Amino acid sequence: MNTKKVAIACQGGGTHAAFTWGVLTQILATKKAWDAEAGEQGKFDIVAISGTSAGALCALATWYGLVPNAADADCGTLDKAIERLNFLWNNFAATTPVEIAHNQMVGTLLQWKAQGMPFPGSNPYSGHGDIGLSALAMMGARSDYLGFPELLAALCPDFAAIDWAAVAKAERRVLVGAIEVLSGNFEIFDSNKTLEELGLLAHPPKFDQYDSTRWRMRRAFSLEGVAASGTLPEILPAQVIGNTMFPTCEANKVVTRNAYYWDGLYSQNPPVRDLLDAGTKAEKPDEIWVVRINPQEISPQSQKVSLEDIKDRENDLAGNLSLNQELDHILTINRWLARHGDRHPPLQGRKIVEVRTIKMRRETAWGLQHTSKFDRSAGHFARLREEGQAVAEQWLSDWRARGKDFASYPDDARYPEPA
């Protein structure tokens, strides 16, 4: 097969997304090795990456490393993308003594809560959280550990120097999802929207999103947007982005106000259908690789009896709901194209897109607990990273060897029946 245009969609799932760290680093390393080989058979190019929550952090790190930057000559390379992913997860991990102690304390409290011990609920809008963060900082916790803004600024120190003209030529797109609390909009922060606003995108969308009331909006890509995608409302106050425009029910009238964002789990986990919004058929990806964190299925022997277990399964199902709907939409279009072709509207300009799943081994996915989604220990991250690397290495080998006969969605999202 010739070089495939691939879009990668990274699901969120707390620190379980360290699995995605391993998957992406293996994909990037494999691409580097394959690119050095002669010919185009069995190769791929990464044209877009999307993510939600922790998946959005992975998407940002990968994209930032892959796109040219006027202030950092190392950007625009596979090696830089790998280095940024490593930086992200190494800095996000609890490493100083106070961070390790804090992470262990949080884990213990969550375990006790899961066992039925009553604990008062926390309010991210109360002053106690700020006092606690200040105390942790005074005792030696790093700013990268304590907050998204500092972590993202350290991850992308030259974000303002991204060479957007070169990004447009390189066809490297990034999207992250979040929900705007007041409107209920499904919103994405999209590098293509940035290119449109800069006049660098050759084929911008034909409709004006402010001309009608819609519950899906696109915003220019920003670090604030990535932070919005990871804002869990039980832990963090809503991410505020000022001077944001919204359509109204009156024709040609918009309002400008502060926008308040929560985690993308409540909208798209991760954005997928938007990956197909490209100007021409040739620009659309040939394949979408979904890195799935929330298991679609759980063990038949699972005893989901505690309230925390029930909430965890609700989280799995909510995180997969929009994803499965968007993937099923793509499969429907694929069936129509296979039956009717693409010569007539509404299929004109569309193409068959293969959807494939990269997921944890069954034993790993079914063995993880909801409390480990908050575990920031370096050992926990390393185990999931190694799992991701091993899974991706075998997956890529099979993808190359089997070609069009390689497994695809929805079958590859399932696990074989237990023996």
Task: Provide the 3-class DSSP secondary structure of residue 52.
Answer: strand
What's the one-letter identity of residue 386?
E
The answer to whether residues 163 and 237 touch, using CB atoms and an 8 Å cutoff, is: no
Is 237 or 9 the better-scoring residue by pLDDT?
9
- DSSP-assigned letters across all residues of 47-107: EEEEEETHHHHHHHHHHHHHS-BTT-TT-SSHHHHHHHHHHHHHHHSB-SHHHHHHHHHHH
- Which of 97, 86, 92 has its CA nearest to residue 141? 97
The mean pLDDT value for 350-370 works out to 92
232, HSE (Cβ side, Cα atoms, 13 Å): 14
Lowest mean pLDDT among 261-265, 309-313, 317-321: 309-313
Q: Does domain 4-94+151-405 have CATH number 2.30.30?
A: no
**Would you tell me the crossing angle of helices 378-402 and 78-92 to the nearest 10 degrees?**
150
Cα–Cα distance measured from residue 202 to residue 118, given in angstroms and rounded to the nearest whole number: 57
- DSSP-assigned letters across all residues of 15-42: GGGHHHHHHHHHHHHHHHHHHTSSSSTT
The answer to whether residues 13 and 368 touch, using CB atoms and an 8 Å cutoff, is: no
The answer to whether residue 38 scores a pLDDT higher than 90 is no
Cα–Cα distance measured from residue 370 to residue 317, given in angstroms and rounded to the nearest whole number: 13
Cα–Cα distance measured from residue 21 to residue 19, given in angstroms and rounded to the nearest whole number: 5
Spans of all domains in the chain: 4-94+151-405
Q: How far apart are the two ends of the chain, measured CA to CA in Å?
A: 35
Is 34 or 342 the better-scoring residue by pLDDT?
34
Lowest mean pLDDT among 130-144, 224-238, 312-326, 330-344: 130-144
Whether pTM > 0.85 for this model: the answer is: yes
- Which of 308, 32, 258 has its CA nearest to residue 24? 32
Cα–Cα distance measured from residue 255 to residue 179, given in angstroms and rounded to the nearest whole number: 18
Q: What is the mean pLDDT of the chain?
A: 89
Cα–Cα distance measured from residue 65 to residue 80, given in angstroms and rounded to the nearest whole number: 5
The mean pLDDT value for 338-342 works out to 91
- Which of 208, 204, 186 has its CA nearest to residue 194? 204
% pLDDT > 90, the chain: 60
For 376-385, the pLDDT digits (tens) are 999 999 999 9
Task: Provide the 3-class DSSP secondary structure of residue 123.
Answer: coil
The mean pLDDT value for 144-158 works out to 90
- Which of 12, 374, 371 has its CA nearest to residue 178? 12
What's the one-letter identity of residue 324?
N
The answer to whether residue 304 scores a pLDDT higher than 60 is no
The answer to whether residue 137 scores a pLDDT higher than 90 is no
The number of residues in the chain equals 419
- Which of 391, 385, 381, 386 has its CA nearest to residue 415? 391
Q: Hey, how many other C-beta atoms are within 10 angstroms of the C-beta on 235?
A: 12
The CA distances from residue 56 to 182, 197, 207, 291, in Å, are 22, 22, 27, 12
The answer to whether residues 15 and 58 touch, using CB atoms and an 8 Å cutoff, is: no
What's the one-letter identity of residue 162?
I
Give the torsion sign (CA, 103, 26, 156, 193): negative
The predicted pLDDT at position 302 comes to: 62
Q: Helix H segments across 273-371?
A: 307-340, 362-367
**Structure-block tokens of residue 418:** 């237990």
The answer to whether residues 137 and 146 touch, using CB atoms and an 8 Å cutoff, is: yes
Beta bridge partners of 246: 255
For 171-219, the pLDDT digits (tens) are 899 999 999 999 999 999 999 999 999 999 876 666 677 776 678 899 9
Q: Enumerate residues 6+ apart whose C-beta is below 8 A from 401.
A: none
Q: Is the peptide bond before 270 cis (omega within 30 degrees of 0)?
A: yes
Vertex 89 angle, CA 87 and 92, to 5°: 105
Cα–Cα distance measured from residue 302 to residue 174, given in angstroms and rounded to the nearest whole number: 37
Instruction: Say if residue 151 is exposed, middle or buried (CB neighbours under 10 Å; 0-12, 13-18, 19+).
Output: buried
Cα–Cα distance measured from residue 180 to residue 54, given in angstroms and rounded to the nearest whole number: 18
